[in-house]
Amino acid sequence: MDSPSERMRFYLREIGQGPRTGRDLTREESRDAMEILLTQQCARAQMGGFLLLQRFKGETPDELWGFAEAVRSRANLIEPQVKGLLDIGSPYDGRKKSIVVSPASSIVAAASGVPVVMHGEKDMGPKHGVPIGDVLEALGVDIDASHDETAASIEELSLGYMHSERFVPDVFALKDLREEVALRIVFATVEKLYNLANADYSIIGLTHFPYMEKMMKAATNMGFKRIMIVQGIEGNEDVPTSRPSRVFEWTGNDPTEWRLEPSDYGLQPATKEEMAGGDATRNAEIAVRIFAGEKGAFRDLVLLNAGLRTYLAERATDVAEGIEMAREAIDTGAASAKLEALRARGSSGS
């Protein structure tokens, strides 16, 4: 068999000859190429060249599937003993311009009976925005728990966070390469859908909807029973209250598209000023104020996104019921109690 470096040279030639003579890789070839990257068994120039060529060519569903399989085969997977786990496919490079409500919405969903797994990494390029993990950390939640502790947190408190460095160390080891390439590359897609906790449900944010079909086809091979791709804020999984969002939903057949109209639920639209981003501390403070009973646009953002999660995970019959469940979780103090339990668990674990 050819050496890893020779195989990578072959893949570079196959995909790099332009639209007329180049070709896509098969699922098996893609898996092999990603394994070569993850084990760093080829020259760094080959690694960067492959990632950039894939970006410019555009990955096919089979290529994304093969890449994700390779990552999963070398990852530290967990399988929490819960029914109906929801995976939050949030971009690891975070958000720069807008508020981050995914952590608060996920805590509210957990308080409404939805087990949730979140995952990510710190200071990830090329955006270097505020990731969900930093907001959870600012809230006092442990974001560096071990594999067993993370699974136990999901089982006992319905929420856990998987730190990339612990769970996909081979991908984390390429963090500097991702920085050098300076563009969003295939890892930014794979990390949204690789399903390291064997979840049943997934919500994924996307900016460029021509990419939706590829993403959906790849995600359907990751073990999910229901997937939702949303036109979220900055391409994230949070939907805004200030505009409608396109939603694509897959439940085993062809994806269906529908329009999420926040005004249908009597929610207060967040203004441009209210949507402005901030550091992790600001985002955490907003969540705490909401859990303490503050009304207004921030709360309605959380209600909408928590309701969407609860509906996706089949704990609510529709988004409206999910919003009402989220409202009850906040008003009864269940969301605040959930946060305190997560903080206590992190303190006892440290």
| CATH of residue 174 | 3.40.1030.10
For residue 349, the model assigns a pLDDT of 58
pLDDT above 80: residue 242: yes
Task: Answer yes or no: is pLDDT of 350 > 60.
Answer: no
Is omega for the bond preceding 115 within 30 degrees of 0, making it cis?
A: no
Q: Which pLDDT tens digit goes with each residue over 118-169?
A: 999 999 988 899 999 999 999 999 999 999 999 999 999 999 999 999 999 9
Domain-embedded: residue 327: yes
Domain-terminating residue out of 15, 38, 58: 58
DSSP 248: E
Q: Are residues 207 and 324 in the same domain?
A: yes
Torsion-angle region of 234 (φ positive above 0: left; ψ -120 to 50: alpha; else: beta)? left
pLDDT score of 54: 96
Rounded mean pLDDT, 235-244: 94
* Maximum pairwise Cα distance, the chain: 64
Q: Are residues 169 and 41 in the same domain?
A: no
- pLDDT level of residue 211 (50, 70, 90 thresholds): confident
Residue 175 and residue 43 share a domain: no
Q: Please state, as a whole number, how many other Cβ atoms lie within 10 Å of the Cβ of residue 172.
A: 14
Domain-located, residue 66: no
- Mean pLDDT, rounded, of the chain: 95
Q: Is residue 271 part of a domain?
A: yes
Q: What integer is the mean pLDDT of 18-45?
A: 95
Question: How far is the C-alpha of 32 from the C-alpha of 339, rounded, in Å?
Answer: 42
Q: pLDDT tens, 64-110?
A: 999 999 999 999 999 999 999 999 999 999 998 999 999 999 999 99
Q: Residue 224's domain spans which residues?
A: 86-348
Q: Tell me, yes or no, whether 160 lies in a domain.
A: yes
Residue 234's pLDDT is: 87
- 35 with 139, same domain? no
Does residue 75 lie within any of the structural domains? no
Q: Considering its fold, how many domains does the chain have in total?
A: 2
The string of DSSP codes covering 274-331 is HHB---HHHHHHHHHHHHTT--SHHHHHHHHHHHHHHHHTTSSSSHHHHHHHHHHHHH
Residue 1 reports pLDDT greater than 80: no
Q: Do 50 and 93 fall into the same domain?
A: no
Residue 198 has pLDDT above 60, yes or no: yes
Same structural domain, 14 and 102: no
64 within some domain: no
CA gap 167, 172 in Å, rounded:
9
Closest CA to 117 of 61, 192, 180: 192
pLDDT bucket at 235, cuts 50 / 70 / 90: confident
Asked whether the predicted pLDDT for residue 252 surpasses 70, the reply is yes
Lowest mean pLDDT among 17-21, 24-28, 191-195, 301-305: 17-21
Query: Would you say residue 193 lies in a domain?
Result: yes
Residues 54 and 92 in one domain: no
State the Cα–Cα distance between residues 345 and 283, nearest whole angstrom: 21
pLDDT of residue 22 exceeding 80, the answer is yes
**Is 115 among the domain residues?**
yes
Could you report how far apart the first and last alpha carbons of the chain are, in Å?
A: 47
The model's confidence at residue 208, banded by pLDDT at 50, 70 and 90, is confident
